[in-house]
């Protein structure tokens, strides 16, 4: 067997591995190296845990791990991949490639597992793809490996590399150059996404996907536009918006507060359960961007409630009795009961005091933000003197 030169190319690939399974992978690779040493194989095998953010996918916390390998080479030939053959022809024949080796398209899947060396047609359990230094590839059966890989145990070469990252331990992401600085792929920095969201909200206000319209772009859509590579025709708009919404220290502080709020929030709804799962990792998948950026509403509501408490502390208390309620509608809602649905509204006056009750028929066309005035029986809350319940609303008589 020809010795491996010191400058032999080392290929590699990055994998997303469940954090709990990283020690198992290290033990597995260490055992394979020991088997290679006993078989007298001269090869290189390294692995490293990348200092990249841990990511959350399908409820599992994953860690980037890079595997670097230089398979042994004889007369220019080296192992590229192994194919397991389903004897019943039910499962697809998919290659288990050496980490970092990019296979030609025609070898991505196999039809008939034919050995291209002896051309013998028979049932096979596995075939191997060998690659030559000059770019040639050949499929060979197990018994023909010795013709290309002349070593005491050529099958050990296949066992060493095709089982390096077993399917039950690792979910293959996609091939990347180990020297590449961005291992993220479809994964985003969670804190950076929230910082840009806070900056967008400060400029345009919050707009959910459900309440977005032609004249109001959803906050998640603005975020995706600013964070992704723009279409060439929109490059000037993209640069202008990026400059206008550049996060400041205040926005980054709001992002950190939001993460803490999510982590401290009780998991009393499916929405919060999902948010808390995302907050457990420092990176999120792009498909969770809209959900994650909506977490900023927790900080928005917290600050709004703080302002309301300050306003209520300085506002005059609400008196009981029939009186004129004048202000703006801050919320319209539906309350479902057993036999009927009740339409309710919350009105806030100029002093910051709030009045809650049934939406009267003569205000059915009113929307949130509209100014309204009506006469009603008012009863202040026992817990909050700046909050009251109203009933029997009627129109305010017009001045003569």
Q: Tell me which range, 15-19, 36-40, 355-359, is most confidently predicted by mean pLDDT.
A: 355-359
The DSSP code for 213 is B
Kindly report the CA angle at 381 between 376 and 387, in degrees rounded to 5? Answer: 70
Q: How many residues can be counted in the chain?
A: 400
CA gap 69, 72 in Å, rounded: 10
User: Residues 253-270: what's their mean pLDDT?
Assistant: 90
- Bridging pattern class, strands 354-358 and 387-394: parallel
CA gap 358, 371 in Å, rounded: 16
- pLDDT band at 93, cuts 50/70/90? low
Q: Are 47 and 68 in contact (CB under 8 A)?
A: yes
What's the token pair of residue 139?
A: 């499929």
Return the CATH number of 315-394, one of 3.50.50.60, 2.60.120.10, 3.20.20.70, 2.40.50.140. Answer: 2.40.50.140
Residue with tokens 């279409």: 231
Sign of the torsion angle spanned by Cα atoms 269, 271, 273, 275: negative
Nearest to 271 by CA among 345, 330, 225, 210: 210
Q: Is 296 helix (H, G, I), strand (E, B) or coil?
A: helix
Q: Tell me which range, 6-20, 224-238, 383-397, is most confidently predicted by mean pLDDT.
A: 383-397
CA gap 14, 183 in Å, rounded: 8
| Phi/psi at 84 (5° precision) | -85, 130
pLDDT at 53 over 60: no
Nearest to 312 by CA among 209, 387, 394: 387
What's the whole-model pTM score?
0.49
Domain boundaries, the chain: 11-172, 188-300, 315-394
What's the token pair of residue 136?
A: 């040639």
Q: Are 57 and 15 in contact (CB under 8 A)?
A: no
Q: Are 77 and 148 in contact (CB under 8 A)?
A: yes
Q: Give 99 or 336, the one with higher predicted confidence.
A: 336
**What is residue 166's predicted lDDT score, i.e. its pLDDT?**
40
CA gap 113, 374 in Å, rounded: 83
């Amino acid at each position: 067997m020809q010795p491996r030169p010191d400058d032999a190319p080392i290929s590699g690939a990055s994998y997303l591995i469940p954090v709990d399974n990283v020690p198992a992978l290290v033990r597995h690779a260490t055992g394979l190296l020991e088997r290679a040493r006993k078989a007298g194989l001269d090869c290189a095998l390294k692995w490293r845990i990348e200092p990249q953010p841990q990511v959350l996918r399908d409820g599992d916390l994953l860690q980037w791990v890079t595997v670097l390998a230089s398979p042994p080479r004889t007369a220019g030939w080296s192992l590229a991949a192994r194919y397991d053959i389903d004897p019943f022809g039910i499962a697809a024949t998919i290659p288990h490639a050496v980490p970092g080796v990019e296979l030609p398209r025609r070898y991505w899947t196999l039809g008939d597992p034919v050995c291209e060396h002896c051309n013998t047609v028979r049932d096979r359990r596995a075939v191997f793809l060998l690659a030559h230094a000059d770019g040639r590839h050949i499929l060979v059966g197990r018994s023909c490996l010795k013709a290309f890989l002349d070593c005491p145990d050529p099958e050990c070469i296949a066992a060493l590399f095709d089982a390096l990252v077993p399917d039950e331990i690792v979910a293959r992401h996609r091939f990347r150059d180990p020297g590449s600085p961005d291992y993220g792929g479809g994964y985003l920095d969670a804190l950076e996404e929230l910082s840009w969201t806070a900056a967008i909200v400060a400029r345009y206000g919050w707009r959910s996907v459900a309440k977005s319209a032609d004249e109001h772009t959803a906050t998640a859509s603005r975020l995706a536009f600013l964070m992704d590579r723009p279409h060439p025709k929109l490059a000037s708009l993209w640069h202008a918006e990026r400059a206008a919404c550049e996060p400041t220290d205040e926005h980054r502080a709001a992002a950190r507060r939001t993460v803490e709020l999510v982590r401290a929030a009780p998991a009393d709804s499916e929405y919060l359960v999902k948010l808390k799962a995302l907050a457990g990792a420092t990176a999120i998948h792009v498909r969770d961007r809209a959900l994650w950026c909506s977490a900023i509403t927790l900080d928005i509501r917290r600050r709004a409630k703080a302002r309301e408490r300050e306003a209520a502390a300085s506002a005059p208390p609400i008196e009981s009795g029939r009186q004129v309620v004048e202000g703006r509608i801050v919320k319209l809602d539906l309350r479902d009961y057993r036999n009927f649905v009740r339409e309710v509204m919350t009105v806030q006056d100029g002093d910051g005091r709030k009045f809650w009750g049934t939406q009267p028929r003569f205000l059915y066309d009113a929307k949130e933000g509209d100014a309204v005035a009506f006469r009603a029986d008012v009863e202040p809350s026992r817990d909050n003197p700046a909050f009251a319940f109203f009933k029997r609303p009627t129109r305010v008589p017009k001045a003569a």
